[in-house]
Structure 1
C-alpha cells in the first residue's frame, strides 16, 4: 500500500471513530473535526465512505452515523438509527467541537451519590474538576429545575467541586438557566455562540 492509500485509510478510520464516539455528526462537524477542507472535498470524501455510513437530512444538512459495516470496522456495538432527538446530539457535539474536542469526553455518564442518581449528557475534566454537560433542547424548565436540584444534592452529598455546563438553542433561556443554577458553578452556552 502506498503512502497515499495508507493516509486515506487512516482518515476513514478516524472519521468512523469520531462517529463511534459522538453517535451522529453533520457534514460540517466532520469537516471541522477532520480538516476536510471545502464543502466539495468533504462531500467527496463522505460519498467515498458510503459503505460505512448512513445519513439523513436534518434541516439543510446531512447527518451521518455508522452503518452495520462501519460499526463492524471500528467495533462499535451501539446501533444508531434516524431519530427525532437529533438536535440534542448535534448540540452536544457542537459544544465538544467548540471546546476544542476535550479528551477524555464521555457521553451519557451516570453520576451517583447515595440515593441520588443523574445521567449527564456528557462529562469531561478541567484539571481535576469534572464538568458535567447538560443539553437544553427546549425542554420544560420544570424538568431542568429537577435536574439542577439533583446536581445540588450530589454536590451536597459528595462535597465535590464541579462545573455544570449547559448548552441551549435560545439566548432567552440563558438567564433562566443561570437563575435556576444559583449556588452552582455554571456556564451556559448558546447555539449562536458555539457555531
Structure 2
C-alpha cells in the first residue's frame, strides 16, 4: 500500500473513531478534534468520506455527521440506533470537550453508583487527580437540575472519604438566567462547581 493511501486510511479511521465516541459532530468540531487543518481541507476530507459512505450527514443549523453502517463495520463500533433528539445535546457536549482542552480520559455517560444511589453524568474525566463530572443543561427543568446537584453533593462525600478530594461538577448551559440559577443551587447545596455557557 502506498504511503499516501495508508496515511489517508489512518486519518479516516481516526475520524471514524472520534465520531464513535462523539455520536454526532459538526465539521468544525471534527476539524479541531482530529487536527484536519484549514476549512477547505476539512471539507474535502469529510466530503470524500461521505461519498465513500463511511459517514452520513444531516442538515440542522449546520451539517452534522455521524457514522454509517459501513463506517461502524470498519472500526468495529458497537454504536446502536441513534436518537435525533440527542443531536443538540451531543454537539453541546463536544463544544465543552473542546473548551476544556479535550481531556484524555473522557468517558461519555458512564454510570456512577454508591449505596442505593446512581448518577449518569453526561461525561466524566479525571484531571490533576480530581474527578470532574459534566452535565449538559439543555432541556432539563431546574427542579431536575437541583435534584442532581443534591445527588452530586452525596457523591462528593463518598469521593472525599475514598480519594481525599471533592470532585468538580461542570455545567454547560444555554442562557444567562439558567447559569445564575445553577450557580445559586450549587452554592446553596454546597458542591465544587464550574459553569460554562453557550451564551
- TM tier relative to shorter chain: over 0.9
Quickly say closer, same or farther: Cα 1:99–1:175, change in 2 above 3 A: same
- 8 Å CA contact 1:135, 1:166 repeated in 2: yes
- Give the secondary-structure state (helix, strand or coil) at the position aligned to 1:76: coil
Over the aligned positions, Cα root-mean-square deviation in angstroms equals: 1.4
Mapped to 1, the partners of 2:58 and 2:185 lie a distance apart of 36
Residue of structure 1 in register with 2:176 after alignment: 171
- Deviations 1:83-120, CA, capped at 9 Å, x for gaps: 12211111011111111211110000111111111110
Matches within 5 A, 1:1-195: 1-50=1-50, 51-59=53-61, 61-81=62-82, 83-160=84-161, 161-182=166-187, 183-192=190-199
Considering fraction of residues, name the structure with more strand: 1
* TM-score in terms of structure 2 length: 0.90
- 8 Å CA contact 1:114, 1:157 repeated in 2: no
- 8 Å CA contact 1:23, 1:80 repeated in 2: no
Unaligned runs of 5+ in 2: none
* TM-score in terms of structure 1 length: 0.92
Mapped to 2, the partners of 1:97 and 1:111 lie a distance apart of 23
Mapped to 2, the partners of 1:89 and 1:178 lie a distance apart of 23
Instruction: Quote how far apart the aligned CAs of 1:82 are.
Output: 5.3
